[in-house]
Amino acid sequence: MRRGRNVKIVATLGPASDSYEMIRKLHEAGADVFRLNMSHGTHEEIRVKHAHIRKVEADLNSPIAILADLQGPKLRVGAFAKGSEELTEGAAFRLDLDETPGDASRVCLPHPEIFAALQPGKRLFVNDGKIRLRVDSCGPDFAACTVTTGGTISNRKGVNVPDVVLPLAALSEKDREDLEFACELGVDWLALSFVQRAADVDEARALARGRAAVLSKIEKPSAVENFDAILDASDGIMVARGDLGVELPVQAVPPIQKRLVRRCRAAAKPVIVATQMLESMIESPMPTRAEVSDVATAIYEGTDAIMLSAESAAGKYPVEAVQTMDRVATEVEADPTYQQIIAASRGGRASTVADGIVAAAREIAETTDIKAICCFTQSGTTALLTARERPGLPIIAMTSVRRTARRLALSWGCNCVMTEELHRFKMAVVSAARAARAGGFATERDQIIVIAGVPFNMAGTTNILRVAPCDEKLIFNTDPG
């Protein structure tokens, strides 16, 4: 399904969007990727959503990526005798391992690993940072704190520990079960929560065994500090601004977002900007001006994808939220300033043959009357390198591997087309010309660029570029291969 823009849209499924009919409407409205939140719903409920997505994909003959978002360890306080308490600034408050219901002076924190990592002076945030505590003294089973920001604290609210790397694996036992289930189900991407170091990603990749690509959620200060190593270990990145904005000063998040997006693009790995992009559309059919500006900013930065969470999962206007993102993206990408910004942020010199091929393809295409760049890819690498160039014309990613087509549905500008397995370059050119015409990208009178690797069907062999006519008669008359 051809879109009128290059940035991709990720829509989270939930109670407002779990039927076949709604999933189809969301895809037709512009959703390219569907996110299954493993924090909510049983495996059977997730299996039904997965089946609906695959039926939409088959009915519309349009590759769709499915992203399973693993919950990660959940750090929460225990329960209070009264259900909640009011904490005042300057008051003493104790966290410990005693499971006795809490009061205004203490509550259980059933996570000894937190106490093991704490030191005096470190901070603890409760309920998305609405309550803030400073550690005065601590031991293996307690932390005596001072309330620095007061408010209402209630049962099982989340806890953030921004100042330390916790001795916790990114994968809980539930996550391991969910990961195996999702991989067996056939999802395309796994989103890994609570990433602190590259070793967390390595563990998930080992468990996935190539059955799904691994996308790391950057939501902790330690992940920002270790980002280069995490990026190198990951297939993709999500800038998860919710927890990131709790554990870091909110004003630090926009420049971090910009830096991470640029590093992902330089590495030719897809990046999603997520959290509260159109939050008001949970209840309103119209977004705020600030939300529209936030979405547009991420697009101007060159992100691969923008994501809806509760807006499409539980909101009143899921289709309208997708349509809004689609319209904003279309408008931004039509702005001459957009191409200027994208061109100015392009990376340095090519270091491999494949880098040189895709850079040359983009330059030729933008300085001549070329209608599309068609790249043949088995693993997806050629298409990802082409997308990194952010060319000002369509990318047609052609592959005989269904899994590759689905994964590329997350990547900037990739129009994914399934093709039969090819063994001769001439037939690749013919197949590309047919795809360009069938998709409305070109006519018989037009030219396209074809990128491929010879020999065919081997990953990492991008080594040939051809400017080709879309007229098959001309291809057979002029191409000896």
Active site residues: 35, 76, 217, 275
Q: Tell me whether strands 142-149 and 131-139 are parallel, antiparallel or unpaired.
A: antiparallel
Structure tokens at 312: 């499409």
